[in-house]
Amino acid sequence: MKSKKNINFAQKYTMSPFISPFTDFGFKKLFGEDASKPMLISFLNSILPQEHQIKSLEFKNVEQPGDVKYERKAIFDIFCVGADNERFIIELQKAPQNNYIDRTLFYSALAIKNQGKVGDWDFKLDPVYCIAILNFNFKDNEASQAKHEVKHSICLKNQFNEKFYEKYFLIYLEMPNFKLNLDELKTTADKWLYFIKNLETLEDIPSIFKDDDLFTKAFNKAKYANLTPKERDAYDESEKTSRDLKNVIDYSFKDGKKKGEQIGIQKGIQKGKLETQTEGILKALKMNLLTIEQISQLFEVSTDVVQNIKNTHTL
């Protein structure tokens, strides 16, 4: 009789031979290991301005401590430092969160604050780059002339649209806006964006990538069959967590809307959303995979609301 793990492996392999970059394990496997440095450098250089190209980097601890015991900590997907001490924060975000832009500003600002030195220091800072790969569209971007753009580059400018500060950069990659087909890929950035967005749906390495040694290595690294048994278990768990969280969120909001529509009035809509939101939060609490703060961000409620639900319901 075949083991459960072997069955899972066979099922996974028939679905897709490649892992998903939109899981915590998959993203770090592809871009966050020492063997992945050439791929990460290529990806970063493809989206950074020509004057900010990098030649080497070093991975650092992804956890940046706060000032005091009870201050929240910043957990980055990938945190690395370039040869010229420039800081790179690379984050992948699957679903929208409340105040997400504020969140990226807060966490990237920690990479600036933590450069402070005790003693005689002239306040000279090293550059900080925050690159966020988003598997969703900005909710408040509909009126913007950039709403169909994939890449959003933000830097500090004055009232004359002149660059005011050259060491702080925010780059958001809105992946749903990337719609190029294989025969339309022209640049290295096009190829990396296609790779990230479509990897888990591909059945083989597209011919356009086969003559490039770096992309060939990236595809081989992404093959589920090339993972160790321990890595397969870690990936399967990461994929299950992502899927479960998506189901919780979808259930909470879609079912809330459905209940509200059945009642047929605005009050009913709000009541239905509230009821199913509570159910969704309870499901997330029972999964015991997220902190109260993370759950509050997912459901766009305060931490007090989540804590109250936890205290008043049996888990």
Q: Are residues 146 and 179 in the same domain?
A: yes
Q: Is residue 91 part of a domain?
A: yes
Q: Are residues 127 and 211 in the same domain?
A: yes
Q: Are residues 129 and 50 in the same domain?
A: yes
Sign of CA dihedral 283, 289, 293, 294: negative
Supply the range of the domain harboring residue 280: 231-312
| Phi, psi (rounded to 5 degrees) for 254 | -70, -40
Q: Is residue 132 part of a domain?
A: yes
Confidence of residue 259 (pLDDT cuts 50, 70, 90): low
- Number of structural domains (the chain) is 2
* Other C-beta atoms lying within 10 Å of the C-beta of residue 231: 14
Please tell me the distance from the alpha carbon of residue 266 to that of residue 106, in angstroms, as a whole number. Answer: 35
**Cβ pair 282, 298 in contact under 8 A:** no
* Residue where a domain terminates, one of 198, 224, 250: 224
Q: Which pLDDT score, from 0 to 100, does residue 97 have? A: 75
Q: Are residues 147 and 33 in the same domain?
A: yes
Q: Are residues 241 and 125 in the same domain?
A: no
Please tell me the distance from the alpha carbon of residue 310 to that of residue 315, in angstroms, as a whole number. Answer: 7
**Cβ pair 104, 78 in contact under 8 A:** no
Q: Are residues 202 and 248 in the same domain?
A: no
Q: Are residues 84 and 187 in the same domain?
A: yes
Confidence of residue 180 (pLDDT cuts 50, 70, 90): very high
Burial code (b: 16+ CB inside 10 Å, e: under 16) for 70-93 equals eeeebebbbbbbbeeebbbbbbbb
Model confidence pTM above 0.85: no
Q: Which residues have C-beta within 8 Å of that of residue 279, sequence separation ≥ 6?
A: 251, 252, 255
pLDDT tens sequence across 128-148: 999 999 988 876 666 677 788
* Residue where a domain terminates, one of 173, 198, 224: 224
Q: Are residues 218 and 154 in the same domain?
A: yes
Cα atoms found within 13 Å of the Cα of residue 288, Cβ hemisphere only: 2
Q: Are residues 113 and 134 in the same domain?
A: yes
**Which three-class secondary structure state does DSSP give residue 81?**
strand
* Residue where a domain terminates, one of 176, 201, 224: 224
Q: Are residues 110 and 214 in the same domain?
A: yes
Q: Is residue 2 part of a domain?
A: no
Is the pLDDT score of 262 beyond 60?
no
Angle at the Cα of 21 from the Cα atoms of 300 and 10, rounded to 5 degrees: 115
Q: Are residues 243 and 96 in the same domain?
A: no
Residue with tokens 């900590």: 73
> Could you tell me which residue, 39 or 14, shows the higher pLDDT?
39
Q: Is residue 259 part of a domain?
A: yes
**Cβ pair 36, 221 in contact under 8 A:** yes
pLDDT tens sequence across 54-95: 999 999 865 554 444 434 444 558 999 998 899 999 988 887
Please tell me the distance from the alpha carbon of residue 78 to that of residue 299, in angstroms, as a whole number. Answer: 25
**Which three-class secondary structure state does DSSP give residue 230?**
helix
Please tell me the distance from the alpha carbon of residue 230 to that of residue 208, in angstroms, as a whole number. Answer: 32
Q: Which pLDDT score, from 0 to 100, does residue 34 have? A: 92
Q: Is residue 3 part of a domain?
A: no
Q: Is residue 9 part of a domain?
A: no
Please tell me the distance from the alpha carbon of residue 210 to that of residue 208, in angstroms, as a whole number. Answer: 6
Q: Is residue 11 part of a domain?
A: no
Q: Are residues 66 and 180 in the same domain?
A: yes
> Could you tell me which residue, 224 or 24, shows the higher pLDDT?
224
Q: Is residue 5 part of a domain?
A: no
